[in-house]
Amino acid sequence: MKRYKVLVIGLDGATFDLIRPWAMAGHLPTLSRLMSQGASGELQSTIPPMTAPAWTSFITGKNPGQHGLYDWIYRHEDGYAVSPVTARHCTEPTLWSLLSSAGLRVCVFNVPMTYPPQPVNGLMISGLPAPSVRAGITYPPELLAEIEAQVGEYLLYPDPGQAYSDAGVDAFLRRLYRTAETRLKVLNYLRRREDWDFFMVVFNGTDTVQHAMWKFMSPAHPQHDPAKARKYGSAILHYYQYIDQTLGEIVAGLDRDTVLILMSDHGAGPFHKFIHVNNWLRQQGWLRLKRGPKARLKVVAFDRGFAPMKIYNLLMRFGLGSLKREVVRGRGQGLLKTLFLSFDDVDWSRTAAYSLGNVGQIYLNVRGREPQGIVEPGREYERLRDEIIARLQELKDPETGECVVQEVYRREEVYWGDKLEKAADIVFIPTRMEYFGFGEYEFGSNEIIEPVKRGISGTHRLNGILLLWGEPIRSGVVLEDSHLYDLAPTILYLMNVAVPTDMDGRILSECLKPEYSSLPRLRSEPTPSAESPVPSAALSPEDERLITDRLRGLGYVG
């Protein structure tokens, strides 16, 4: 079989919900041409559709039950505190490690969940959650200095947090485009520099502009301001047009031996209301707070509105939004930690269930698994899980009366593998995903359901994008059933590399011309996993703080 080179361009958070109508209207000529000449369809993300598990499923060809990443955070085994995950928490073989072992040259550039960078047969520049350019983000290490000498300052990310205040929107947009321009310069430099077999780059701006600017585009959004919409209502479209133009330049330089894959880790849509899951668990009696004098005082203050989100909204009203950092960091350290309600105030000896993460993940406090677990495995576990699921299905928005939970899953219904034990016991998908327990994992507000008042206005959806284009790809094919973990085996097949038998994904043969889809599939035995990482050694305290601040700026981890 002919071995193709593969160029993967990730458009983080890109959605056909926007691309298709804009392409039909003539706004995205390159994407329109690629869709008509290639194969395309929606790409199913992970449940929930979060960046860390989604990109890791793409990278490994496996579901979270095998690779073990379910959110941006993980719980420490000796308590209920959390820390950010990094690439070190994935012990499964990656696409680029398999290609490197096959002797193929790879360039991996700005892909999320590649920090810290790993040695490859080629080059790697880490993406999220890299804390800073000085944190060792390249392999080999001297690559960063070479890039900066050739293209100038290397920008890690645009910062949507700039756009959460009126004064920062223009600065955010300037940095958004500067970051994309930097990506393109580095991409062009590395493509010329390297004799590569596999190249991948991710443009994060599609995701960050949607997080920050959806409210200007959607009149139905709670934060929509018609006057501001006249200035910024086309900001997302304009960025997609910039990317479309960039894609046109890239495609023009491809040869017949290269297959182009465009993909996103998840889709996007508007975000209207928070669901504060721990408050609901407390209301139902499954999460209990301590009863000492100090805890009681904090509970009284919390119930009257003394909570990080309320304080931040108050600061913004008085033009003091720059103090947000101190408010959110105060949830984990310093004086404010002694004032805000937190997991330190939970009475774990009486708590049966709690929530961690960004999208509807509920854990039971299981004896023998959690350090202070009280729920007995077996019959009691299943009874409690059934009861929580039943009540979740009855949870309604007090303002509209609609049920706010669309789907509820037991973990074994959506995950499988030897790391299933790390998953939340219950995962639910909010209605239309316009409701979201997003960026909050302890007690960000004293309400259960509340409208978003400022800040992030767009968020993730389950339907990402997939587009394949090149000599072996059939024209005009609409892909009906593709998943993130189908891409790794498909790429390996196109590159004539054996697909490990333990990958969950399949080869997307329906998008291939008959002379390519009927060729034998090379299969290899499962590649041994790496040893489990030592979380305490994964990050320095300063790097962990920088990463947590970065994720908060993007709207994650509270």
Which CA distances in Å does 289 have to 174, 293, 345, 352, 428?
Answer: 46, 12, 6, 12, 24
Q: Running DSSP on this structure, what letter comes out for residue 532?
A: P
In a domain, 538, yes or no: no
User: Judging by beta carbons within 10 Å of its beta carbon (0-12, 13-18, 19+), is residue 369 exposed, middle or buried?
Assistant: middle
CA distance 492 to 519: 13
Q: What pLDDT was estimated at residue 452?
A: 87
CA distance 181 to 152: 11
- What digits encode the pLDDT tens for the residues 86-120? 999 999 999 999 999 999 999 999 999 999 999 99
Q: Which residue has the higher pLDDT, 274 or 324?
A: 274
Is 103 in the same domain as 220? Answer: yes
- What digits encode the pLDDT tens for the residues 3-21? 999 999 999 999 999 999 9
Task: Point out which residues pair with 367 in neighbouring strands.
Answer: 370
Task: Point out which residues pair with 428 in neighbouring strands.
Answer: 408
CA distance 421 to 147: 42
Contacts of 445 (CB under 8 A, 6+ apart): 274, 276, 279, 307, 308, 309, 310
Is 302 in the same domain as 182? Answer: no
Alpha helices by DSSP H, 194-307: 205-217, 226-232, 235-252, 277-284, 293-303
Is 319 in the same domain as 415? Answer: yes
Q: What pLDDT was estimated at residue 311?
A: 75
Task: Point out which residues pair with 200 in neighbouring strands.
Answer: 8, 108
Q: What's the 3-state SS for 126-141?
A: ECCCCCCCCCCCEECC
- Comparing 300-304, 363-367, 540-544, which segment has the lowest mean pLDDT? 540-544
Q: Could you tell me the strand order of the sheet in which 449-451 lies?
A: 435-436, 273-275, 449-451
Is 265 in the same domain as 118? Answer: yes
CA distance 53 to 199: 21
In a domain, 357, yes or no: yes
Is 96 in the same domain as 17? Answer: yes
Is 220 in the same domain as 341? Answer: no
The stretch 355-366 carries a mean pLDDT of 92
Is 185 in the same domain as 328? Answer: no
In a domain, 363, yes or no: yes
Chain center to CA of 547: 14
Is 260 in the same domain as 297? Answer: no
Count CA atoms closer than 13 A to 553's CA, side-chain side.
Answer: 19
Q: Helices H, strands E: what count in the chain?
A: 21, 23
CATH number at residue 254: 3.40.720.10
Is the predicted pLDDT of residue 536 greater than 70, yes or no? no
Is 300 in the same domain as 170? Answer: no
- What digits encode the pLDDT tens for the residues 293-342? 999 999 999 999 988 877 766 555 545 444 444 444 444 444 455 688 99
The stretch 193-201 carries a mean pLDDT of 97
* 552 pLDDT tier (thresholds 50, 70, 90): low
Q: What pLDDT was estimated at residue 495?
A: 96
Q: Domain boundary at 400, 434, 457, which?
A: 457
By C-alpha distance, which of 431, 427, 444 is closest to 556?
A: 444
Contacts of 199 (CB under 8 A, 6+ apart): 5, 6, 7, 8, 106, 107, 109, 190, 191
Contacts of 558 (CB under 8 A, 6+ apart): 308, 328, 331, 439, 440, 441, 442, 444, 552
Is 209 in the same domain as 280? Answer: no
Q: What pLDDT was estimated at residue 329?
A: 40
Chain center to CA of 452: 20
Is 424 in the same domain as 401? Answer: yes
The stretch 159-167 carries a mean pLDDT of 74
The stretch 524-537 carries a mean pLDDT of 56
Q: What pLDDT was estimated at residue 528?
A: 65
Q: State percent of the chain over pLDDT 70.
A: 88
Q: What's the chain's average pLDDT?
A: 90
Q: Could you tell me the strand order of the sheet in which 405-410 lies?
A: 353-355, 361-364, 426-430, 405-410
CA angle, 21 then 26 then 30, to 5°: 95
Burial per residue of 218-229, b for 16 or more beta-carbon CB atoms within 10 angstroms, e otherwise: beebbbbeeeeb
Residue count of the chain, please give it. Answer: 558
Q: Which residue has the tokens 């316009």?
A: 434
The stretch 367-387 carries a mean pLDDT of 98
Is the predicted pLDDT of residue 549 greater than 70, yes or no? no
Chain center to CA of 347: 31
Contact 97, 120 (CB under 8 A): yes
Number of domains within the chain: 2
In a domain, 558, yes or no: no
Q: Domain boundary at 406, 436, 457, which?
A: 457
Query: Which tokens belong to 529?
Result: 């996993």
By C-alpha distance, which of 27, 62, 20, 59 is closest to 41?
A: 20
Query: Which tokens belong to 280?
Result: 């609901």
- What digits encode the pLDDT tens for the residues 225-267? 999 999 999 999 999 999 999 999 999 999 999 999 999 999 9
- What digits encode the pLDDT tens for the residues 453-478? 877 899 999 999 999 999 999 999 99
Q: Which residue has the tokens 């709670």?
A: 222
Rg (CA), the chain: 23
In a domain, 406, yes or no: yes
- What digits encode the pLDDT tens for the residues 518-528? 766 767 767 66
DSSP string, 313-377: HHHHHTT-GGGHHHHHHTTTSHHHHTTS--GGGB-GGG--EEE-SSSSEEEE-BBTTBTT--BPT
| SS3 state of residue 541 | helix
| SS3 state of residue 469 | strand
In a domain, 547, yes or no: no
In a domain, 531, yes or no: no
Tell me the whole-structure pTM to 2 decimals: 0.92
State which residues form the domain around 407.
273-457
In a domain, 548, yes or no: no
Q: Domain boundary at 457, 473, 488, which?
A: 457
The stretch 73-80 carries a mean pLDDT of 91
Task: Point out which residues pair with 8 in neighbouring strands.
Answer: 200, 261
Is 341 in the same domain as 466? Answer: no
